[in-house]
Amino acid sequence: MKPYIFEQTREVKPEDLDAMQHVNNVRYVQWIQDVAEAHWKQQATDLMQQQYIWVVLSHYVEYKHPLYLSNRVLLKTQVGEVFGPKYGRIVEFWNAQKNTLCVKAESMWCLLDARTHRPKRVTDDIREIFEELV
């Protein structure tokens, strides 16, 4: 099975900009979290969402091209490798008008039991919701 690629679009707004008038690096990190959460909420069952929560352990962000006010941004995310309770995630930010990759991020997330906040091994059921039916 291959990973399901979840996509979201947004338009750069004035509040997304820094002093140089391009998207602030802090905003990209927020968008990484937002798109990961949206992916989980779209794919996970209600029961899964009640049983589990995700926390980020690390982000690696590579900036390739800036995004500016009114640019339309295509965010693409998919999960990567599983390591017990940890799941890798890839997020790409594309300038939708130019079809240019602007930012690529790799994150490591940890699955927690929503009640105890203790790490939980990623189950086959969770893996399956992030895979594409081919």
Residue 40: which CATH number?
3.10.129.10
Report d(CA 92, CA 59) in Å as an integer: 13
Q: Look up the domain containing 49 and give its range.
A: 2-132
Q: What is the pLDDT of residue 1?
A: 72
Distances (CA, A) of 57 to 54, 82, 97, 108, 110: 10, 13, 32, 5, 7
pLDDT reading at 120 higher than 80: yes
pLDDT category at 133 given cuts 50, 70, 90 is: low
pLDDT reading at 134 higher than 60: no
Of all residues in the chain, the percent with pLDDT exceeding 90 is: 95
Distances (CA, A) of 21 to 15, 31, 102, 119: 10, 18, 15, 40
User: 52: closest CA among 78, 85, 93, 20?
Assistant: 85
- As for how many domains the chain has, the answer is 1
pLDDT reading at 75 higher than 80: yes
Residue pLDDT, tens place only, 10-48: 999 999 999 999 999 999 999 999 999 999 999 999 999
Residue pLDDT, tens place only, 55-70: 999 999 999 999 999 9
Q: Which residues contact 121 (CB under 8 A, 6 or more apart)?
A: 84, 85, 111
Q: What is the pLDDT of residue 2?
A: 86
Q: What is the pLDDT of residue 132?
A: 78
Report d(CA 106, CA 40) in Å as an integer: 16
Does this model's pTM top 0.85? Answer: yes
Tell me the three state secondary structure of residue 43: helix
